[in-house]
Amino acid sequence: MSADKEQATPKYEPAFHREFRAIENGAYASQCMQCGLCAVTCPARELMDYTPRRLFKMIHAGEKEKVMNANTPWLCTSCYLCTVRCPRGIPIVDVMHGLKHELAKKSCKSGVALLSKVFFQSAMKRGRVYEAAMTNSFYMKLGPGSIPDAMKQQDVGLDMIKHKRLPLFPPKKIKGLKDLKKIYEKAAAIQKEAHKDGV
Amino acid sequence: MAYSFYPGCSMEATGKAYLVSFEAVEKALELDAHEIPDWNCCGATVSANYVGDLPQLAIAARNLALAESAGHDVLVGCSSCYLNLAWVNERMKLEPEFAAQINEALGAANMQYNMTLNVRQLIDVLVNDIGLDKIKARTIKPLTGLKVACYSGCQTVRALRRRDFDDVEYPQMMDKVVEALGARAVPFPMAARCCGGSQQFTKVDMIYHCTGKVLESAAQAGADIIVTPCPMCHMNTDVYQKKINKVTGTKYDMPVLFITQLMGVAFDLKPKDLGFSYNIVAPGSKLAAYGVK
Ligand code: SF4
Ligand code: SF4
């Protein structure tokens, strides 16, 4: 089953393909030969607006708005199945990371963008992730609208607490926390310099 | 053989049963594993969504830099941690330019990594270093009659995007371990399929859908239990099993064990040292005959 949605009047921005090539791992998208193997491979295909194949086609065509608003990268779970199967050797999962990073720079208000942000912040706070606090922080930042969704998972949360799967205390701060931050900041600066012409 | 051990954040929290049972099995097999001092979170692939690949892999590389002076192979249990450490290691070895960038980042903290280490997943070490003969010899209580679905998960076998210690689509190595314990590994086509990963908070339908298929496949194969080396697979198949039953009208009663928990049973280690209290689907229903309540 194809998850591709058609739109009546696509908007084309020819410069988009070039911009996309400049983002981290973006250039790989140009190597796609549209065979469709990733599309039948992906476990999230039925929920995606566009399969990876279709997304790459839209990148070539310059359909910026559709690409930037697609749920495709956000549903990618980094399972790597498409990546080991792609006959062109395209690291599709890396392209998805590059695109998500680019989108997250603009906004991290909800969904996987927000979750990824709170996860990373949790990792950098002590050098190790504290899952319980991370989950709280995620729902706090989502705001009261998220309460019904959170409530639906209450039974799962209670089971986890009952079986001590959510420690009550955070992990200890690592000694090299300052070093870790310096490493991150330097890597982020190198990355920024290398991809300054991105989307 | 000595190893530098990287536990990772999950093994210390949601996947605590893995760490506890790993330590018990480590002793039983006289595995000489030393925790990497002051290790940090590998970032998991989820960090790359936010910061992109380079910063995420740079923080993962700090762990390799910390481990390098010991000179031992780095042993990793968690599949996501394995992926991050093994991939940054492989990529640095393959791409000098990337290695220079990572080392420039590490240099900000006066560290560097000279790419002298091997990063090894636990299953790889069990099969290729310890060896099936030793595992068989250590098996005091053979798990005769037990049918097991071996769920490697996705990142465990695809970390390097090529054949690693096992096949990227149809892994067999954990089956061999399970058979050395006297159990039977059932044919399990979903062995390397995605459980839905960390979409619990963002698109829980994915968990119901993907993990649902995994449970269905294991049940169809006639498995009594599932074993996995991955904390995320364990979380979704164990913690979410009741929920999946509720939402999709199924009736799975499929205990999910970390591979080290099952090894501990066959090695006749004390159940209390194998962390069964952390399992949500009670293992006793299928493992009572082997001494697990
Ligand atoms: S499998 Fe590779 S070449 Fe084929 S459509 Fe997908 S990305 Fe393109
Ligand atoms: S890595 Fe992402 S895009 Fe590729 S098959 Fe897995 S979920 Fe789909």
Does residue B26 sit in the same domain as residue B144? no
Ligand 2 close to Cβ of residue A44 (< 6 A): yes
Give B 192-251 residues with CB within 8 A of chain A. Answer: 192-194, 196-206, 209-210, 239-240, 242-243, 246
ipTM metric: 0.94
> How far is it, in rounded angstroms, from Cα B248 to Cα B212?
8
Q: Locate the chain B residue with the closest alpha carbon to A114.
A: B50
Residue B126 falls within a domain, yes or no? no
Q: What is the structure's pLDDT at A149?
A: 79
Q: Based on the domain organization, do B46 and B153 belong to the same domain? A: no
Q: Which of A120, A151, A155 to mutate to test the interface with B (most CBs of B within 10 A)?
A: A120
Question: Does any CB of chain A come closer than 8 Å to the CB of residue B255?
Answer: no
Residue at B272 is within a domain: yes
What is the token pair recorded at B64? Answer: 């390799």
- Closest ligand 1 atom number to CA of residue A32: 8
For A122-158, give the DSSP string. Answer: HHHHHSS--HHHHHHHHHHHH-GGGHHHHHHTHHHHH
Q: Tell me the per-residue pLDDT of B124-151, one tens digit each, with 9 for 90 and over.
A: 999 999 999 999 999 999 999 999 999 9
Statement to judge: residues B141 and B285 lie in one domain: yes
Partner A contacted by B118 (CB < 8 A): no
Distance (Å) from the C-alpha of residue A141 to the closest C-alpha of chain B?
13
Same domain, B147 and B260: yes
pLDDT at B74 over 80: yes
- Output the domain CATH number for residue B229: 3.40.50.11810
How many distinct structural domains can be found in chain B? 2
Distance CA B168, CA B191 (A): 10
As a whole number, the mean pLDDT across chain A is: 90
CA distance B274 to B252: 23
Shortest Cα–Cα distance, B54 to chain A (Å) = 6
B140 and B283 share one domain: yes
Mark whether B39 and B142 lie in a shared domain.
Answer: no
pTM of the model: 0.94
B203: which 2 tokens?
A: 């698109």
Q: Quick one: pLDDT at residue A166?
A: 86
Q: What is the pLDDT of residue A145?
A: 79
pLDDT value at residue A135: 84
Q: Are residues B95 and B175 both part of a single domain? A: no
Q: What CA–CA distance (Å, rounded) separates B45 from B79?
A: 11
Q: Which of B98, B121, B144 is the last residue of a domain?
A: B121
Chain center to CA of B121: 8
Task: Find residue B33's DSSP bridge partners.
Answer: B3
CA of B201 from ligand 2 middle (Å) equals: 18
Q: Is B146 in the same domain as B281?
A: yes
A161: amino acid identity, one letter: I
**How confident is the model at residue A8, as a pLDDT?**
55
Q: Are A113 and B12 an interchain contact pair (Cβ–Cβ within 8 Å)?
A: no
Q: What is the pLDDT of residue A5?
A: 54
Q: Are B88 and B65 in contact (CB under 8 A)?
A: no
Task: Tell me, using a 6 A CB cutoff, whether residue A82 lines ligand 2.
Answer: yes
pLDDT at A1: 42
Residue nearest to atom 6 of ligand 2 (CA): A79
Tokens representing A41 are 């491979």
B79 falls within a domain:
yes
Percent of residues, chain B, with pLDDT higher than 90: 94
pLDDT at A4: 54
More confident residue, B192 or A199: B192
Residue B127 domain-assigned (yes or no): no
Average pLDDT estimate for B210-234 = 97
Same domain, yes or no: B192 and B253: yes
Tell me the pLDDT band of B115, cut-offs 50, 70 and 90: very high
**How far is B106 from A69, CA to CA, in rounded Å?**
35
In this structure, chain B runs to a length of: 293
Mean pLDDT on B256-273 = 96
Residue A2: its pLDDT value, please?
Answer: 46
Map out the domains of chain A as residue ranges. Answer: 9-104, 111-196
- Coil, strand, or helix at residue B32? strand
Domain boundary among B80, B95, B121: B121
Based on the fold, state whether residues B103 and B177 are members of the same structural domain. Answer: no
CATH number at residue B103: 1.20.1050.140
Structure tokens, A100? 């998500």
Distances (CA, A) of A143 to A108, A109, A147, A154, B89: 13, 10, 8, 17, 40
A92 lines ligand 2 (CB under 6 A): yes
**For residues B165-174, average pLDDT:** 96
Residue B203 lies in a domain: yes
Q: Judge if the beta carbon of residue A12 lies within 6 A of ligand 2.
A: no
**Distance between alpha carbon B91 and the CA centroid of its chain, in Å?**
21
Query: What is residue A137's predicted lDDT score, i.e. its pLDDT?
Result: 87
Tell how far the Cα of B174 is from the centroid of ligand 2, in angstroms: 24
Can you give the pLDDT of all 199 residues of chain A as single tens digits?
445 555 556 678 889 999 999 999 999 999 999 999 999 999 999 999 999 999 999 999 999 999 999 999 999 999 999 999 999 999 999 999 999 999 999 989 888 999 999 999 999 999 999 988 888 888 888 888 788 878 888 898 889 988 999 888 889 999 999 999 999 999 999 999 999 877 6
Q: Above 80 in pLDDT, residue B182?
A: yes
* pLDDT > 60? residue B197: yes
What are the Cα distances from residue A39, in Å, to A46, A100, B1, B154, B181?
Answer: 10, 19, 44, 17, 39
Distance of CA B202 to the CA centre of its chain: 23
pLDDT at residue A9 in the model: 64
Q: Which of A119, A142, A162, A172 to mutate to test the interface with B (most CBs of B within 10 A)?
A: A119
User: Does CATH number 1.10.1060.10 belong to domain A9-104?
Assistant: yes
Q: What is residue A6's predicted lDDT score, i.e. its pLDDT? A: 54
Q: What is the mean pLDDT of residues B268-288?
A: 94
Label residues A1-23 b or e (16+ Cβ within 10 Å = b): eebbeeeeeeeeeeebbebbbeb
Contact B166, B127 (CB under 8 A): no
Residue B148 shares a structural domain with residue B52: no
Stronger pLDDT, B257 or B200, i.e. the higher one: B257
Residue B17 lies in a domain: yes
Domain of residue B101, residue span: 2-121
Q: How far, in Å, CA of A153 to CA of A142, rounded?
A: 15
Q: How far apart are CA A187 and CA B58, in angstroms?
A: 7
Last-in-domain residue among B121, B154, B177: B121
DSSP B153: -
Look at A186 and B162 and tell me if their CB atoms are within 8 Å: no
Is the pLDDT score of B181 beyond 90?
yes
- For residues B207 and B116, membership in a common domain is answered with no
The closest residue, in CA terms, to atom 8 on ligand 1 is: A32
Mean of the per-residue pLDDT values of chain B: 96
